[in-house]
Structure 1
C-alpha cells in the first residue's frame, strides 16, 4: 500500500503527477480558499506526509492526532505557521524551501521600494481617474533612490540579494543583523550598524529578518520616532515584525513618509484595514516569490523533501534537525 499524503492547495500538475507515482495523493482542490482546520484535523490522522503552505496553522493541538505523520513539507522559506517543538517531540521532520526564491523576492522588494518612492500606483490611479489635466512642477513628486541610503534589517540570502541591487543604484548600504557578515561587507561595501543608527540614517528601511518571538513588533512607535520624516518602510518579510497600528499612526502623523508592504500580521487583509486607506502606502497580497519559475521550483523542492523523507532519506532542508 502506498503512503498517504495530503496537499493543502492545488500545485502544478507535473508535481502532482510526480508524487502520484509513489503516494496515495489527496488534494484540497479549492485554489483560492485555505483548507478548513476541521478538514485538516481529519486528514492529519490518516496521512504519512503533509505538503502545506504558510496559510495552514500546524499547531500542537492539530498534531495530537498525527499518529502516522512522518514529514511536514512547507512550501515556503518561513515556517512560523508550524509548531516546530510539537512536531519534533512526535518525531516529525519539518522541511522548507530556502534558496530558490532568493532572487525573485529581492526583485519584488526593490520593485516595491521603487513603486513606493516614486508613487507609481498613486500616479497610475491619478491618470486613470481623469485627474491629470496639466503638468505641474511638484505634482506627484516622490523620493530619489539613486545615491540614497538604504538600511537592511536582516542580512540573510534575500537581504544580501537586495544589497546587490542597491549597489547598482549607488546606494549607501547599512545593515543590522545578529552577526556581522564580513565577506558581504567586503564584496558589497556594506556598513554594519546598530538598529537605532540604521533607523536614524536610512532613507529606506527594508525588513528582511525572519519572524521569531524576538522579532515580534521589532518595529513599532519607538522605532518610527527615530526615522526620518522622509523615510520609507518596506516590509517583505513577515507582518508580525511591524506593529501595524503604530505604523498607521506614524504614516498618518507624518512621522515617516511612506510604506510598501507585501506582508501583514493577519492575511488575507480585510478591505477595512486602516493601512489600505492611506495614499502613501503601497500594498501587495504577499507575492514576494510569485514568479512562475520560482513557484514551480518551490513546489519541486517541497515535493522532493517529502519524497526523500518517506523513502527513508534526510533532505538538506530540514528545519528541526
Structure 2
C-alpha cells in the first residue's frame, strides 16, 4: 500500500475492472484516458498526453512515443509502465536523465503470443484462409496443405515467448532448430533442440518463426538474401516486430513463388507508414494469414499484462522492486517486495 494516494493514468484500451480494483485497493486513484474515435496513445499529440498526465505519479502506457521533451514536462511522474514487453518507443536515456522508472509487463503476454504463433503456422500450412474463401465463393474445392507434424521448425531468438512456442511444438513431434546469441546447453538437452547458425536454420527449416528483439542490428534480419536461403515451400512466421523482416523483399519472394507462405502479426509499416501499400499487398495475398499486431490481445492475456503493469506501478511507488524481469530503468529500490 502506498503511503498516500497516488494518481495513475492508463492510456491503453481494455483495462479490466479487476486490475482497477487492485490499484485502488493499493492506494491509487486511477484515470483511464478516453480518446476521440480513431485516436490512441500512439497517435495522440504530445500536448494531449501532457494534458492527461500532468498530475500523474504513474503512467500505464500502450504504444506512445516516450520522449525527453514529454518526460521533462511531467516532473511529478515517477514510473512509465509498459503494458507489454517491447520498449523501443521509450527513450531510455531520457528516462534516466529525468529520473523516471521504466517497466515492462514481463510474463504477461507470452502464452497468448505463443498460441498465436502456432495458430499462424497451422493456418498457413493448412491453407485455412484459402479454403474458407473457396467455400464463400463456391463450390468449395479441396486444397492440399502441409502438416506441421514431424516437420522442422526454426526458432530465431530464445526469450520467454520462443520458449513457450517450443514447449507447444513438442506435441507435434517436430525437429526444433534454434538460433540465438546466447545458447543454453542445459535448455537444449532438456528440450531436445539443436542450436545452429542462422543460415543453417533457414536452409533446413520448413517453418521459420521470429522471436528476436528489434534493435538496429536486427533490422531486416530477414532480407532478400536470407529469404533466398529458405525452402521454396517454407513458411515464415513473424509475431515479434515488423522491422525484423524486409517486407518488400518478403512480398517479392511470395509473388515469385519462392516461399510457401507467411503468417504475420506485425508489419514494417507500423513504424514506417510509407510502406503501408506493401502491407496492403501482403495481407491480400491468399498465401498470407495476417492479424493486426494483436497476438497478445486476448481477454486472458490482457488481464495478465494489466496486472503485471499494475504490480510494477505499486512496487515503484512504494520504492520496492517490481516483479522479476520487469524493471528496465530505475533507481535501485531500498527494499524488495
Shift of 1:183: 1.6
Partner Cα distance (2:225, 2:93) in 1:
32
Q: Secondary structure at the match of 2:329?
A: coil
1:101 aligns with 2:123: no
**Deviation string for 1:97-121 (max 9, x for gaps)?**
1123222221111111000111112
Which stretch of structure 1 is more off in the superposition, 187-196 or 208-217? 208-217
Q: In structure 2, which of residues 226, 236, 241 is the aligned counterpart of residue 238 of structure 1?
A: 241
Task: Measure the CA separation in 1 of the matches of 2:30 and 2:38.
Answer: 20
For 1:27 and 1:267, locate their aligned partners in 2 and report how far apart those are by CA, in whole Å. 24
User: Post-superposition shift, 1:172?
Assistant: 1.1
For the residue of structure 2 that corresponds to 1:228, the secondary structure is coil
The offset of 1:199, in angstroms, is 0.7
Equivalent residue for 2:21, pick from 17, 23, 47: 17
Q: Quick check: 2:68–2:91 contact (8 Å CA) kept in 1?
A: yes
Out of 48, 57, 70, the position equivalent to 1:48 is 57
- Where does the alignment leave 5 or more consecutive residues of structure 2 unmatched? 331-337
Give structure 1 stretches of 5+ with no counterpart.
Answer: none
Determine if the alignment matches structure 1 residue 226 to structure 2 residue 229: yes
Indicate conservation of the 8 Å contact 2:154/2:202, yes or no. Answer: yes
Cα RMSD, aligned residues only: 2.0
- How big is each residue's C-alpha offset from its partner over 1:53-73, in whole Å with a ceiling of 9 and x where there is no partner? 1x2111233223121211001
Give a deviation string over 1:282-303, Cα, whole Å, max 9, x none. Answer: 0012222233222111101111
Task: Decide which of 313, 318, 321 is 1:311's aligned counterpart.
Answer: 318
3-state secondary structure, aligned to 1:273:
helix
2:33 and 2:52 in contact (8 A); partners too: no
Question: Does the 8 Å contact 1:160/1:184 carry over to 2?
Answer: no
| Alignment pair present for 1:145 and 2:148 | yes
Deviation, structure 1 residue 155: 1.0
Alignment of 1:159-170 (within 5 A): 159-170=162-173
| 1:27 aligned residue (18, 32, 41) | 32
Residues 244-255 of structure 1 correspond to what in structure 2 (within 5 A)?
A: 244-255=247-258
Query: How far 1:32 moved relative to its partner?
Result: 6.3
SS at 2:65 equivalent? coil
**Alpha-carbon distance in structure 1 between the residues aligned to 2:145 and 2:50:** 49
Measure the CA separation in 2 of the matches of 1:18 and 1:145: 42
The 5 Å alignment of 1:258-297 reads 258-267=261-270, 273-297=280-304
Measure, in 1, the Cα distance between the counterparts of 2:72 and 2:227.
Answer: 42
Change (3 A) 1:167 1:18: closer
Q: Partner of 2:335 in structure 1?
A: none
The match for 2:206 among 180, 203, 208 is 203
Listed one character per residue, the Cα deviations across residues 235-291 of structure 1 (whole Å, up to 9, x for unaligned) are 011111111111111111112110000112234996872212211110012222233
Cα deviations across residues 31-90 of structure 1 (Å, max 9, x unaligned)? 86303123113334432211111x211123322312121100100011112111211121
Contact in 2 for aligned 1:9/1:29 (Cα 8 Å)? no
| d(CA) in 2 for partners of 1:6, 1:176 | 39
8 Å CA contact 1:203, 1:230 repeated in 2: yes
C-alpha distance in structure 2 between counterparts of 1:310 and 1:97, whole Å = 16
